[in-house]
Amino acid sequence: MGSLFAELARQASTNARREVETYAREIPEFGFLEKDSRARAETLEYSMWFRRRTVELSPDNDELSGDDLGYIASMGELRAGAGMSLDARQRVLRVHTALMLREINEATEAQRGGDVDELMRMMAWFAPQGERGIGAYRQGFVRVLRRRIPYTVQVALLARSLLNGDPISAELAEAVGMELPDHWAVTVFRLPHRPTVDRFLESEIGALAKSHQVPVMWGPEGGEGGGELIALIPLFGVGAAAENAPPPIASDLLPDLTPDHLHDLVRDFARALGRPCAVGTATAPQPELAGALDRARRISRAAPLCRAVVRLRAHTLADVFVELAVADVPFVDDWLRTVSHRLETGPDLLATLDAYYRHDMRRGATATALNVHTRTLDYRLRRVRELTGIDPGSTRGVRTLSAVVTRCLSGAWR
């Protein structure tokens, strides 16, 4: 055995203890190691075993055996069974990898540079076998999750792992029977009042997640008790369309990236939620889902709240880009709010303008939607012009009054 490998073997016990101490110090969920002597001994034994196997296998570039991978998987099962979160699991893997690389560096320095060939053999072994070991650990971890936690929790973990870029998403997706495409439409249902997630609602959400094959999770609570439901909708076969899009065009504006069943999915989830909501959606390749969630969340906050399920739809950047910009410019937002105040004295003027713009300013369709005569509609539109000085059918009217309507209906001015 070469000098580098001999030095690693000599330091295996010390390095294993340092790893256990690092876990207890830096990862809150490992605080139990300070009190549970048996768990600490098991963790230390595993850490020493892995270092010894590394020294045994790496000189000749031998692979971890099936028994080795089984032992690693059992540690994943043990941690999942103890209730370790996905975030803590990911931190454990990062700490372990960082410490192993540090130990290799320290051993090399202790040998005053050592043999370059030994170092290259070690690194050539460490990368692929480390990946196999991490894969086994993930599989063991997920095995326990699949047995012990409800389906809705499993799909929520899948959604969270995808948004965080956690590789465990592959094992979680297999556990719940879902495919992972290259692109997704991240869709946020914004709720002014978050519902109580009782057993009935949880069952409904789980059934919809399974039937639509979408990972779903509850987002953080917003202000005044509001909340959000986040659904990740798979987009199959859109990679070429995204790659061939002109660079200046945002993926949200590409109609071929909108899933065909988005309307049905939005309708079904809205019915299950049973309360007004606003829906925003943004598309992105899998590595960029966190950014897509931020965009979808901002779009949902700019989109109008809708009580009628039949009228609810998912808004994209193209639908509310004006309102998004307005929200970030307070003096413009204040001006639009002043315009909205002038409409309060008229008969249902806000609802009239909403219907007018939703029906592309077609008088007949708008009157039918409002269940009024076209002469009544004309009177209301004249009243808007009298109160605001803006003709609803003019270019200025469309630009100004449609933004007023959307900002009002979004609840931003409560």
pLDDT of amino acid 254: 44
Asked if 187 and 252 touch (Cβ cutoff 8 Å), the reply is no
More confidently predicted of 399 and 199: 399
**What is the SS3 assignment for 259?**
coil
Strand order in the sheet with 216-218: 216-218, 227-235, 183-191, 278-285, 314-315
Query: Mean of the pLDDT values across residues 300-310?
Result: 89
Q: Which two tokens stand for residue 390?
A: 């803006």
CA–CA distance, 120 with 5 (Å, rounded to integer): 12
Asked if 176 and 232 touch (Cβ cutoff 8 Å), the reply is no
Asked if 369 and 266 touch (Cβ cutoff 8 Å), the reply is no
**What is the SS3 assignment for 278?**
strand
With 90 as the cut, is the pLDDT of residue 350 above it? yes
pLDDT of amino acid 223: 47
With 60 as the cut, is the pLDDT of residue 375 above it? yes
pLDDT of amino acid 297: 94
With 90 as the cut, is the pLDDT of residue 225 above it? no
Q: How many other C-beta atoms are found inside a 10 Å radius of the C-beta of residue 46?
A: 18
With 60 as the cut, is the pLDDT of residue 240 above it? no
How, if at all, do strands 227-235 and 216-218 pair?
A: antiparallel
- Domains annotated on the chain, with CATH: 3-148 (1.10.490), 179-321 (no CATH), 329-410 (1.10.10.2840)
Asked if 11 and 100 touch (Cβ cutoff 8 Å), the reply is no
β-strand partners of 231: 187, 216
CA–CA distance, 144 with 78 (Å, rounded to integer): 8
Q: Tell which residue, 278, 267, 260, 280, has the closest CA to residue 310.
A: 267
Whole-Å CA distances, 350 to 125, 178, 392: 68, 44, 11
With 80 as the cut, is the pLDDT of residue 265 above it? yes
| Residue bearing tokens 């207890």 | 24
pLDDT above 70 covers what percent of the chain? 93
Query: Mean of the pLDDT values across residues 313-317?
Result: 91
Whole-Å CA distances, 290 to 26, 193, 247, 317: 25, 24, 20, 16
Helix locations, 253-394, DSSP H: 262-273, 289-302, 317-327, 330-342, 349-358, 363-370, 374-388
Q: Write out pLDDT tens, residues 206-217.
A: 999 999 999 999
Q: Write out pLDDT tens, residues 27-48.
A: 988 888 888 888 889 999 999 9
CA–CA distance, 343 with 352 (Å, rounded to integer): 11
Whole-Å CA distances, 51 to 14, 104, 242, 410: 11, 11, 45, 58
**Amino acid at residue number 251:** S
With 50 as the cut, is the pLDDT of residue 9 above it? yes
**Amino acid at residue number 300:** S
CA–CA distance, 397 with 408 (Å, rounded to integer): 16
**What is the SS3 assignment for 103?**
helix
pLDDT of amino acid 173: 92
Q: Write out pLDDT tens, residues 253-262.
A: 444 356 778 8
Query: Mean of the pLDDT values across residues 289-294?
Result: 95
CA–CA distance, 183 with 179 (Å, rounded to integer): 11
Distance of CA 330 to the CA centre of its chain: 29
With 60 as the cut, is the pLDDT of residue 2 above it? no
With 50 as the cut, is the pLDDT of residue 248 above it? no
The verdict on pTM exceeding 0.85 is: no
pLDDT of amino acid 191: 92
Q: Tell which residue, 332, 329, 322, 338, has the closest CA to residue 389.
A: 338
**Amino acid at residue number 217:** M
